[in-house]
Structure formats: C-alpha cells, structure tokens
A and B are shown apart, each in its own frame.
Chain A
C-alpha cells in the first residue's frame, strides 16, 4: 500500500468519523438540552403549575396530537408546547403528532372528529384536551392522574330513563361511555338511601316524568347548596315537574316545543333541533365545533330577574335561525305535528342548554337543618340543564357531537376547585403610532443614508489606495 493510499484511507475514515461525531453530538444535545426563556413574561415556558403536574405523574403518559400535516403552524406550536412538557419529565411524558387523515383508525379509536385535539394516553386510561393549549393540557393531565373514582349517580324512581337496556330511549350508551372519561355510573333511589352518597361526584336527573317527593327534593337541594353537581335533562311533556328546582337556581324552561325546519333533512317531521351556536367563553363549549342533535326539546334559559346572588348562568347552545317554538301542549298527546304560524312563540336562535355556578348557600330555600346530606366540601354548586333527554339516549348519543358535548358537561361538572387556570401569556399590547415625519425619517435613514454611507466609505478607501 502506497503512502498516498494510506493517506486517502485515513482521510476517508476521519471524514466518516467527523460526520458520526456530529450526529452523536446532536443526539446528545437533544437529549440533554437546557433552555432559558429570556422573554419578559416567560412566554415560551410552562407555568410552575404545569411543571409540577407533569413531574408528579405516576404513570408514563403519551400525548397524541391530532393535526393535519398541512397545518405547519399548528404542528410547530404543538411540538413546542408538548416538547416543553417532555423536557420537564422526559421519562414520564412523550408525544406524537398524528395526521388524522393518514391514521384514520387511530383517530377513530380515540373518537377524534376535529383536528386540533390531543388525546393523553396512560395505560388503559385516556383523557382528551380539546385544544393544544397549556391550560387544557395540564387540566387533562390532572384528570388523568386523578386516581380517585368519580362516581356518577343516575337518580331513579320518578320515571327517569333507564341506564341499562338496548331500547333506543335508554341511556346505556351514555352510561357505558363514562368509563373512558374516568367515571363510573350507578343508579340511585333517594327514597332508599335517604341521602346522596358521599362518593357522588355528579347526580344525573334524566327526564323524570313524575314529581319528586318533598323529602327527596329537600335532600337534593341541600346537596346542591353544599356544592353538589347536577346534570338535569328535561322531557318536553314533563319538564314542568322540575320548575321548583329550576326556579331556585334562576333557570327557566318555558313549556314550549322547539321545532326546526332545517332538521327535516332527517326525513321526519320537524321534531329535531340542531344546535349550531355555542358559548365561546364557557369551558364546556369553548372551541366546540360540532353540531349536536336534540329531539322534542324545550328551551332552557337563565331567568332575566331574580337570579341567586353570586350565581353565573350562561346559555351553552342555541339552535340555528330556522328553529322556532310552539306551545308544548300543541304537540303533547298529538299524532302528528301541525304547525300554525299564529302559534309560533319565538323564532331562530333558541337556547337549548344552560350551565350555572352557584356559591354555597346561593339558593334561598336550602335547609341548613338537614343532617342527612353529606358534605361535598366544594366552594360552589354546578348545574347543567339541557332541554332534552333524547340527546343522550342510545339512539342519539353517538350522533353528531352529542357524546362530546355530554362528556364535556360531565368533565366541567366534576372539575375540582383547585382546577388549574393558566393565564394567557400574550405580551401586553404596545401599539406603535408613527407620524408621517417619523415614517419618512426611518425610510431615509435605513434605505438611503446607512447603505449609501457604507458604499461611499468603500469607494473612498479604494480611491485613496489607488491614489
């Protein structure tokens, strides 16, 4: 072997080695990087609350962020945010960006219908974050790591919908869907237990067709007054049976039936109503982009006057512009829908559901003397009222966005008082106002003066050298 060949081989080896070292260095720096966010308000860093939550995870969590490959900005932002979680606890948190169109089965498995959602997976448990945002993600992580069993009790004994059975009217699918969100469902008869069980996270009162007894009403009111959480779905025919409860919490459901001409696309009489508009500033419906379907629904709305002190009641969903309402009596007991224009009470954008928070003792009729009710020890009661029970029935539960809306309601109802709120980190707005003179000065200096001065200096130096 000549000296030349030896030299060539050694050069080749050193080049290959250098490339390998380069890649190894990149790999090591990726795995052991340190970051300093020098922005004034730490805009690109996680809050201390999020750092604590992700570092305290007991089981590894994988985040699946469903974003289209064409959404470069969204993927970049998701990568940065999820990367921050991963950097905080690399052995406990990992993430993947998934294009729902390329992985339709995965998207289907996690029931991702809209891009922009993040599914957090830990063993068999999953939690959904409806947006790639720190507050939503951290709260979803909190829900995922919350090992306490959240129990949903379905009240029975007053003609409520059954939670078992394949009948289209039953709530078996709703009850079955609870497990994926970390809930367990059970039936509850207040006459039997004489109190709300201490492990109850939520009570569901799904379309009672009979009045509750005064003793039961008292148990329910006391529980709510002490921070209980209630999901109440009404029936067209018998919604009035719950006026005693709604009135105390500043909510009303007039005896009207909502009809929607647009819903005739279902090939039936216009008994369906589609919710098209949602409250953008409520956690249940924030970023909610799915239509939801209701059948023979009643309007539900906050009363205009006489709301309990400190209460906050917000309509969650409204029908589209083609909906209208007629007196409920015009439909109850009838064979078919007859629409007479003189019977129309209101048209367009009719509220279908409300959500309210009530500080302890907000409802005036609570009975402090009751000794049977447990102490939920929550600072506020939360109530969601929906003007229809069919929307969570076996028949409609998985139609359009009904399931998502129902699960959002349950998640909001169970949110604990230490729920994380992370304020947005946008910089304060600091507008720049320029006068015409200032604009001209900037242009003259930057476009003319500086480049010209540099060029002239160059010419001058070249000229002096030659001279």
Chain B
C-alpha cells in the first residue's frame, strides 16, 4: 500500500497539474476569504452603531467553510479522474493488478495519496483563518470541527471520483460523471421535498451534513454519513477492479 501511495503522490506532484489545481483553489478561496473579511468589517461598523450583531464565528466562518466545501466539488474530480482511467487507457492497470497487492491495498494507496493532496490544499487555506484570528477572537474547536467536516466531505467525494474513474478509460468521462454525481449529492435535500427519505435515513445531501459541522456541532450522524459514503464507493470501486479479472 505504501508503494502505491508513494507512486501516486509522486505522480501528482511530478506533474504540474496538481500544483496548478492547488494554487487555483487557493486563489479562489483566498479571494472569497479576503473579500468576506472586508465585508464583515463593513458590517461591523453597523454593529458598532448598535444596529446589529457582528460575530465572525456566526456570520463569517460557517459560510466560508461551506463555500470551501462547495469549491472542492469542482476540484476533486480533476484529482480523481486520472487515478484509474489513465491507467486503464495506458494499459498499466492490468500490470498493477498483477502485482502481489490486493485491490484494497491498491485502492487505499491511491485514496490516501489523493487525501494527502487535499489535506495539503486545505492546510494552506488555514492561513486566512490564522490571519483572521489575529484580528478578532475565533472559536478554534469550532473551526477544527469545520475542517474535519471538509476532510470527511473530501473523503466521500474522492471515493466517488475514484469509482467514476474506475468505470472508464476516458479521464473526461470520469470527470463529468464525478461532477454530475457530486452535484447531485450536494443538492439532494432539495429533491426530497416531502421529507420522506429524510425522515427515514436522515438528510442524504452532503451540504446538510457539512453545514452542521461548520457550525461547530459534532453529530455522529454526520460522521457516519461521510464515512459510510466513502466506504460504499471504495467498495464499489474494488468490485469494478475485481470484475476486470473475470471479464478478461
């Protein structure tokens, strides 16, 4: 697993693509964070005149974390699209499957490598909050829960992306399928207007579960949702890989 992890991580960082992706994500997040802080400072002026409340942990941090999660939806498919589709196109997937490795080890290696890239991406975004924390008091445990939410969301999204990548030899198709699927996952609560699904299984939308975490509420239901979603798609990916053996 370590070998696969090292190989994938090297592949990510030896190509300029990962660096460009990370820097564009940081640029967009930085842009949003910087201007949101400026807007919040303007709002604070009104608060000082007693017109309204101004508290960064209520009005600034949770929406920023949710937006960062939403942006991941556009970047993670670009990270996962090549994981299996590229190997399948170049014919290295069959070679990889002949190594003395189980599908689970291959999957875990690739998954952990992608998670490392996302972790790095998110770690850089902390700089904005550290700056903010020097200007106004922040509730760090709440922020920590918000970042845990982003990591869990990434895990679920990456697992879905890996599954989509394992289905095809075209990176473009893998990316499009991932975009579509993740977008559906994001807006799912809007589809269930009657609330029948929600009543039974809880909110199936990733947004709803992330929102809870960004507010600083650690609910086992949200943790289980993201972990179960990641486990489901990792399992499905393993089955797709396994199916190559009998399809020949």
Bound: A69/B195 CA distance, A: 11
Q: Flag whether A439 is at the interface (Cβ < 8 A).
A: yes
Chain A contacts for B136, CB-based, 8 A: 430-432
Q: Does the CB pair B246–A450 fall under 8 Å?
A: no
CB pair A446 B19 closer than 8 Å = no
Residue B31 is within 8 A (CB to CB) of chain A in the complex: yes
Question: How many chain-A residues does the 8 Å CB contact rule pick out?
Answer: 56
Number of A-B contacts (CB under 8 A): 184
Q: How far is the CA of A64 from the CA of B217 in the complex (A)?
A: 25
The residues of B that contact A34 with a CB separation of less than 8 Å are 219-220
Contact B24 A3 (CB under 8 A): no
Flag if A39 contacts B216 (CB, 8 Å).
Answer: yes
Are B224 and A432 closer than 8 Å at their CB atoms?
no
* A26 adjacent to B201 (CB under 8 Å): yes
Which B residues lie within 8 Å of A432 (CB)? Answer: 37, 40-41, 44, 54, 56, 132, 135-136
Interface residue tally on B, bucketed by range: 35 or more
Which of A36, A37, A430, A445 has a CB less than 8 Å from the CB of B56? A430
- How many Å lie between the Cα of A431 and that of B39 in the bound state? 12
**Is B47 in the interface zone, CB < 8 Å from A?**
yes
Complex alpha-carbon distance, A462 and B29, angstroms: 25
A130 shortest CB reach to chain B, Å: 23
* B135, A438: Cβ atoms closer than 8 Å: yes
Q: Which of B14, B19, B41 is close to A434, meaning CB atoms less than 8 Å apart?
A: B41
Distance in angstroms between the alpha carbons of A33 and B215 in the assembled complex = 17
* Nearest-Cβ distance from residue A53 to partner chain B, whole angstroms: 22
A16 CB → nearest B CB, Å? 11
> What residues on A are CB-neighbors of B95 within 8 Å?
none
A451 to B38, CA, bound (A): 19
Interface residues of B in 106-157 (CB under 8 A from A): 124, 127-128, 131-132, 135-137, 139, 141-142, 145
In the complex with contacts A447-B31, A458-B20, A461-B13, A426-B127 CB distance below 8 A = no
A14 and B239 in contact, given A26-B202, A442-B37 (Cβ under 8 angstroms) = yes
The one of B29, B54, B228 in contact with A26, judged by C-beta atoms closer than 8 angstroms, is B228
Query: A4 at interface (Cβ–Cβ under 8 A)?
Result: yes
Q: Point out the residue from A15, A27, A40, A452 that lies within 8 Å of B239, measured CB to CB.
A: A15
List 17 other contacts, CB 8 Å, given A25-B224, A430-B54. Answer: A18-B232, A18-B236, A25-B228, A26-B201, A26-B204, A34-B220, A35-B219, A37-B218, A38-B216, A44-B215, A431-B47, A442-B34, A442-B37, A442-B131, A447-B34, A451-B24, A458-B23
Residues of A within 8 A of B (CB): 3-4, 7-8, 11, 14-15, 18-19, 22-23, 25-27, 29-30, 32-40, 43-44, 69, 97, 426-434, 438-439, 442-443, 445-447, 450-452, 454-455, 457-459, 461-462, 465
